[in-house]
Amino acid sequence: MIQLSTIDGIVIECLAYGVTGTVQREEEVIIKGSWPNNDDSLQELEVEARIYQNLGPHPRIVPFLSWDPEKSMLKTRYMKNCALKSYITSNQCSVEEKIRWIKQTADAIQACHIHEPKKFGSS
């Protein structure tokens, strides 16, 4: 269920919510926020932020923009057509396209597994 609201003329879409918190879109930015007064939710979001920071930029991984522990807010770039399942179900996709996506997914998984862990906050 997508809910829209406008704050200071900026349209904010609530894309999803779950155990960890909410996922919202503000223009070209995705904002993930933890539930208020929920330490488990905050900790899970902090782990996600650490993973993004440790990985660094990669062409197959959504770009990480920022982590604000005071506001419990993780920001990534919005990726148009990023929901592959909905794209596949609403478009005709060739076998070649699907093979390319599988290779790209494998490339992203490999990038996740070859990174040396860094301390949170280091560059």
Q: What are phi and psi of 37, to 5 degrees?
A: 55, 35
**Residue 122 falls within a domain, yes or no?**
no
The whole model's pTM is what?
A: 0.76
**Residue 121 falls within a domain, yes or no?**
no
**Residue 38 falls within a domain, yes or no?**
yes
User: What's the CATH code of the domain at 110?
Assistant: 1.10.510.10
| pLDDT average, residue stretch 28-37 | 90
Tell me how crowded residue 21 is: count the other CB atoms within 10 A of its CB: 22
Tokens of 82: 């990023």
**Parent domain of 57:** 3-114
| pLDDT attached to residue 118 | 56
Based on C-alpha coordinates, what's the Rg of the chain? Answer: 16
| pLDDT average, residue stretch 97-111 | 92
| pLDDT attached to residue 4 | 59
**Residue 119 falls within a domain, yes or no?**
no
**Residue 90 falls within a domain, yes or no?**
yes
